[in-house]
Amino acid sequence: MSQPPRFFIDPSQIAGAQIVITGDDVRHIRTVLRMGPGDMLALLDGKGMEYGARITESGRDGIVCEMVIQAKHEITGPRVTLGQGIAKADKMDWIVQKAAELGATTVVPLVTERTIVKVRDEKQRVGRWQKIAREAAMQSRRLDIPVVGTVMSYDRFLANLVPGPASLFLMPWEEGTRPLKDVLRSYPAAADITVLIGPEGGFSLSEAKAAQDRGFQAASLGPHILRTETAAVAVLSMIRYEYT
């Protein structure tokens, strides 16, 4: 039996045994999936709770569901923050999508010395990236939705970091000599991992030094220079491999 489609909801949409779905998901359920009363959905609150719900009413402005079953799932693995130098064209969309699929908890778009893109419509762009992250989380059957932060300067991002006892700060860099896999295996109990990825052109020497001064470990991804979007996927994939 195929599993029911999954959608994220806010806890405020739950009233007793009734759940009301609103927004863009209504059109998708009604028009794209052609679902209606009697059909089952899997609804997640983004914090580990999953509800099996049956549609009872379907209208253009909202879909009313009756909760049939609920289950609590544990969200495992380290929390991963990706500080991503803003990339050109649609590369950033792709990076956010893949970061969501690969388990990143937070994506922070960074303006660095070599950032080419000028984000003039920040609210709209971040909103778009958040929507991409939400859709990727649903498609990949995640229990939570990654948060896309506001556009931030590189210096401010570093200054705001608060290391904890189980933190690991990583900066893949062409000047790094220690293989990333060795770094990861040295921190088997890491609970919070922060990854810095530069834009096209990478980080400047002063930026790399500033990161190292804040506790980032310069790690090598091998002998080849990777594109910014490839580097992000490579690092997140290795983290997922090591900690799952």
Complete domains list, the chain, with CATH: 6-72 (2.40.240.20), 79-243 (3.40.1280.10)
Model confidence at 1: pLDDT above 70: no
Q: What is the pLDDT of residues 2-13, one digit of tens each?
A: 789 999 999 899
- What would the mean pLDDT of 77-86 be, rounded to a whole number? 96
Q: What is the pLDDT of residues 19-39, one digit of tens each?
A: 999 999 999 999 999 999 999
Backbone angles phi, psi at 240, to 5 degrees: -65, -40
Tokens of 28: 């998708």
Amino acid identity, residue 230?
T
Q: Is 167 left (phi over 0), alpha (psi -120 to 50) or beta?
A: beta
Give me the pLDDT at residue 156, please: 97
